[in-house]
Structure 1
Amino acid sequence: MIRTMTTIAAALAALAACAPERQVSGRALYAEYCTSCHGPGGRGDGPAAEGLGKRPADLTGIAARNGGTFPMVAVMSTIDGYTRRGDRSSVMPELGIALQEGPLVLIETEPGNTTPTPANLVALAEYLTRLQR
């Protein structure tokens, strides 16, 4: 089973390497998908925030809320919607489908394990690291 998963991961990496390279901008993805609710600075004060039943999260304090470490995998899972499936109290849309277009990159999701992940999702999460205060 492990050999099969390793083979699949290697094949996906090879396919991703063959895909035409496209520069992904986390800032542009943030502007397109996040600014309306979270605001340009990530503080949860975007123009659409007032119309929501729950204030959007202040994205500038993600690392501070996690002992000073930015939890990249958890953030990507939240953006994707994976950890929020079935959460009826969440007002944030699941962006997994919107961010799937484009190449995959291998991300270490836990020590020794890599997962093919949409480059757009990674770029957006990496952009959020720059918003931390």
Structure 2
Amino acid sequence: MQFLKPLILLALIPLAACVKKEPEPTGAEDFATYCAACHGDGGKGDGPMRDTLDKRPADLTTLAHRNGGTLPMARVMSKIWGYAKAPDGTVMPQFAPLLEGDQMVLFDSGDGISTPTPLRLVQLAEHIQTLQGK
């Protein structure tokens, strides 16, 4: 009977692949969870927490306009992740620990070099791109 235990365990291994894993949140879901309190649902800087902050949150709908018509994706992701420390005294928290996730994608920031980047970070920046001009 003891010899059956390893065989049973081996038979169960393929079943582990059938277990559904929770899907990663979308960029819109992460925005609602982590950004909307300060930046507002539409990204205009009018979230319910804005009056509690020393400095008004940025209007994310004008980022592309303020940068020659193109959203500076790498800069936006750096700011969200926490790399871009602002000397202007903003209180933007670092979201790196919250957005790491399991899935990575290759992202080219414009220098021709694709860098493994957390999928959730890219999706959040892409969601911010959908808010431009609204």
Q: TM-score, normalised by structure 1?
A: 0.79
> Which deviations, in whole Å up to 9, do the C-alpha atoms of 1:76-131 show, x marking residues without a partner?
0011010117x581211011111001201010123321111000000000000110
Within-5 A mapping of 1:73-92: 73-84=74-85, 87=87, 89-92=89-92
Identity %: 48
How many residues align? The count is: 113
Deviation of 1:51 (Å):
0.3
* Structure 2: gaps (5+ residues): 1-20
State the alpha-carbon separation in 2 of the partners of residues 84 and 113 from structure 1: 23
Conserved 8 A contact 2:40-2:47 = yes
Compare CA radii of gyration and give the structure with the larger one.
2
Distance in 1 (alpha carbons) for counterparts of 2:31 and 2:109? 22
CA contact (8 A) 1:102 1:120 kept: no
- Measure how far apart 1:22 and its partner are: 3.7
Higher relative contact order (CA 8 A, sep 6+): 1
Distance of 1:62 and 1:110 partners within structure 2: 17
Q: CA RMSD in A?
A: 1.8
Structure 1 unaligned runs (5+)? Answer: 1-19
Task: Compute the displacement of 1:72 (Å).
Answer: 0.7
Residue matched to 1:10: none
Q: 1:88 to 1:55 in 2, by over 3 A?
A: closer
Match in the other structure for 1:13: none
How much does 1:23 deviate?
Answer: 5.0
TM-score by length of 2: 0.78
Aligned to 1:48: 49
3-state SS of 2:76 partner: helix
Indicate if the aligned counterparts of 2:24 and 2:120 stay in contact, CA closer than 8 A.
Answer: no
